[in-house]
Chains A and B, each alone.
Chain A
Amino acid sequence: MVGDREGFRSEGGVSMDAAVESKASTGWQHDLYDLLRRHGITQFAYVPDAGHSILIDRSLADSDVRSIALTTEEEGVALAAGADLGGARAVLLMQSSGVGNCINMLSLIKGGRFPFLTLVSMRGDFGEGNPWQFPMGQATQAVLEAMGVICLRIERPEDVISRTTAALTMVLKSGQSVAVLLSQQLIGAKPF
């Protein structure tokens, strides 16, 4: 699903939620990009999403990586498997609603025991103002776990680097599939 937190930004700087997002989203997202790069991630697959906008923009500006815009999230699951076959490392950036699009494609990851890392910006949880987001948002972790993907949830900016480092170790050294769930407490809830 294409995220549209852009609308949230156009709300202006008056709401408390907007203040939370602007404070929270500047520092740790750059640190997160640098962390992924230090771990040799060279393929950044994404579906446009404001929650991941800094990672997406950094990857687009980085001549040492390939930044791949997807039409649907399941493409990124298959891409990650292909990258691994060629000895490269990929990350899939998506919104929680996109997790639902990936379910059967995760058969490839589980059956092939491919290492797999995805960063999921959550909707339909803490402070969500759009009721359409709740069915998939509330099912995200259950769906991922049902397909064999380990979930690590992050609520606070100070946990981003340590928890993502743990995820990278699990994926790159132990060959696991891991989803890092970036909660709305962390990235800012959309108030409508």
Chain B
Amino acid sequence: MSPHNVTALASAAAPGFVLERSEAVPALIGRHEDFLFISGLGGTACDVGAVTGDSAHVYSLGGAMGAACMIGLGLALARPDKRVLVVTGDGELLMNVGALATIAVINPPNLAILCVDNGHYGETGWQKSHTSLGVDLEKMAIGAGIKRTRTVAVEADIADGARLLREGNGTSFVNLRVKPTEPGEFKRNFDASLGRDRFRAALQRK
């Protein structure tokens, strides 16, 4: 990711993009060993990597934008005994937002989606995303039929959002609004096949 002066962007952010992702994401996840993770391809892969280390219970994208939620659905249906947390971004979710409808219809109780919504496409030069321009992803999730949703925009919302991600009588969706700042540095492996083998082997051992 090339360096950008994101401070100026942060100050221009719409009201509601105030939380620091480096603090809010770990606070929402809590004990990461309780989940299997699917992450998006940009900042969210770094968010999850920073929380878990380079760990075998995480499958992170490096491309195939729009895949995260549906990989999570396939995994949650395959392993109803495990709790699956998809950590995606606003841009990635918007690219395949119909997946919310597909997931809502199935409504697996062991699936949770955390959208780290910074209102921008950080990977491609910090262009504004639709969520900076009025699109509300929690409302889209509600409209899709997901019953258990929250927007987490201030620190006081975090405990409730964290609880929702862990509770299990239906799929939950949390939209976390954060400042458009760089995610933490995290050196990750971009070999999609190695990631697959590692994830499967670790899961079979459990």
Contact = CB atoms under 8 A, between A and B. Distances in A.
B67 interface: yes
A187 interface: no
B78 A83 contact: yes
Nearest to A115: B196
A108 B63 contact: yes
Contacts of A76: 70
Contact of B78 (A72, A86, A108): A86
A75 B77 contact: no
Interface string A74-90: 11111111111111101
B39 to A, nearest CB: 13
Given A69-B102, A85-B199, A105 B64 contact: yes
A30 interface: no
Interface in A14-54: 42-43
Nearest to A90: B74
Contacts of A104: 63-65
A85 B106 CA distance: 19
B98 A72 contact: yes
A18 to B, nearest CB: 32
B71 interface: yes
Contacts of A12: none
B200 A87 contact: yes
A172 interface: no
B192 A108 contact: yes
Nearest to A80: B74
A82 B196 contact: no
Contact of A86 (B65, B68, B203): B203
Contact of A75 (B62, B65, B99, B192): B99
A79 B66 CA distance: 11
A112 interface: yes
A107 B63 contact: yes
A43 B77 contact: yes
Contacts of B105: 69
Contact of A112 (B73, B192, B203): B192
A90 B68 CA distance: 17
Interface string A91-115: 0000000000000110110011110
A111 B192 contact: yes
A21 B61 CA distance: 42
A82 B73 contact: yes
B67 A108 contact: yes
Nearest to A66: B77
A111 B196 CA distance: 10
A78 B78 contact: no
A78 B67 contact: yes
B30 interface: no
B79 interface: yes
A81 B78 CA distance: 11
A89 to B, nearest CB: 9
Contacts of B61: 108
Contacts of B59: 85
Nearest to A86: B78
A170 interface: no
B66 A82 contact: no
18 contacts: A42-B78, A43-B78, A68-B77, A75-B102, A77-B67, A78-B69, A78-B74, A78-B96, A86-B79, A87-B79, A87-B200, A87-B204, A88-B77, A104-B64, A108-B71, A111-B62, A111-B64, A114-B196
Interface of B: 38, 59, 61-79, 82, 96, 98-99, 101-102, 105-106, 192-193, 195-196, 199-200, 203-204
- A-B pairs with lowest CB-CB distance, top 9: A82-B74, A86-B78, A71-B98, A88-B78, A78-B70, A82-B71, A112-B192, A78-B67, A108-B64
